[in-house]
Chains A and B, each alone.
Chain A
Amino acid sequence: MDTGIRLALTLAQIGAVMVAVLLTVALLTLLERKVLGWMQDRMGPMEVGPYGILQPVADGLKLFFKEDIIPAGANKFMFSMAPILSLVPALIGFAVIPFGPDWTIDVGGVNFKPFVITDINIGVLYILAFASIGAYGIILGGWSSNSKYSLLGGLRSAAQLISYELNVGLSIVGVLLLSSSLSLVTITNAQAGGFWNWYFFAWGSFPQAIAFMVFMISSIAETNRTPFDLPEAESELVAGFFTEYSGMRFAFFFLAEYGNMILVSCVATVLFFGGWHAPLEVLQGPEWMHGITGIIWFAIKVASFLFLFFWIRATLPRLRYDQLMRFGWKVLLPIALGNIVLTSIFAYIFP
Chain B
Amino acid sequence: MSEPASEPFRPRVVPVGDSAVLLELGETIDPLINAAVLALDAEIRSLELEGVIELVPTYRSLLVHYDPERIDGRVLLARLSKLDLEHPGTPPEGRLWTVPVAYGGEFGIDLEAVARRHGLRAEEVVQLHTGPTYRVYMVGFVPGFTYLGGLDPRLYTPRLDDPRPRTPAGSVSIGGIQAGIASLEIPSGWHLLGRTPVRTFDPERTPPLLLEPGDRVRFVPIDPATFDELDRRAAAHDPLIAPEPA
Q: Tell me whether A and B are bound partners.
A: no
Chain A positions near chain B (C-beta within 8 angstroms) = none
Chain B positions near chain A (C-beta within 8 angstroms) = none
